[in-house]
Amino acid sequence: MATIEEAQEILEALGMPSAQTNRMSGLTLLALCGLKPNDPWSVANRTGCTVTKSIMSHVKEHYGIEYAPNTRETFRRQVLHQFIQGGIADYNPFEPDLPTNSPRAHYAITKAALTVVQAYGGEGWPGVRTTFLREQGSLAERHARDRDRAMIPVTVGDGNELRLSPGRHNELQKAIVEQFAPRFAPGAQLLYLGDTAKKDLFVNGVALQRLGIPINDHDKLPDVVIYDAERNWLFLVEAVTSHGPVSPKRVVELEEMLAACPAGIVYVSAFPDFKEFQKHLKGISWETEVWLSDAPDHMIHYDGDRFLGPRK
Same structural domain, 179 and 117: no
Same structural domain, 114 and 63: yes
Same structural domain, 139 and 193: no
Among 124, 146, 168, the domain-final residue is 146
Same structural domain, 95 and 211: no
Give the whole-angstrom CA distance, residue 193 versus residue 207. Answer: 13
Among 117, 146, 175, the domain-final residue is 146
107 in a structural domain: yes
180 in a structural domain: yes
Of 79-88, 194-203, 272-281, minimum mean pLDDT range: 194-203
Which pLDDT score is estimated for 61? 96
310 in a structural domain: no
Same structural domain, 85 and 200: no
Q: Is the pLDDT score of 151 beyond 60?
A: no
Among 94, 112, 146, the domain-final residue is 146
Residues 6+ apart with CB under 8 A from 309: 233, 264, 266
82 in a structural domain: yes
Give the whole-angstrom CA distance, residue 266 versus residue 270. Answer: 12
Q: Is the pLDDT score of 103 beyond 60?
A: yes
Same structural domain, 157 and 294: yes
Same structural domain, 94 and 164: no
Selection from 235, 234, 238 nearest residue 169 by Cα: 238
Range of the domain at 233: 151-302
How many other C-beta atoms are found inside a 10 Å radius of the C-beta of residue 6? 18
> One-letter amino acid identity for 17?
P
Of 2-16, 110-124, 152-166, 262-276, minimum mean pLDDT range: 152-166
Question: How many structural domains does the chain have?
Answer: 2
Question: For residue 294, what is the DSSP state?
Answer: T
Same structural domain, 14 and 95: yes
Q: Are strands 224-228 and 189-193 parallel, antiparallel or unpaired?
A: antiparallel
Gyration radius of the chain over CA positions: 28
> What average pLDDT does this structure show over 94-111?
86
Same structural domain, 141 and 155: no
- For the segment 263-281, what is each residue's pLDDT rounded down to a tens digit? 999 999 999 999 999 999 9
Q: Is the pLDDT score of 140 beyond 70?
A: no
CATH code for position 251: 3.40.1350.80
- For the segment 107-124, what is each residue's pLDDT rounded down to a tens digit? 999 998 999 999 998 999
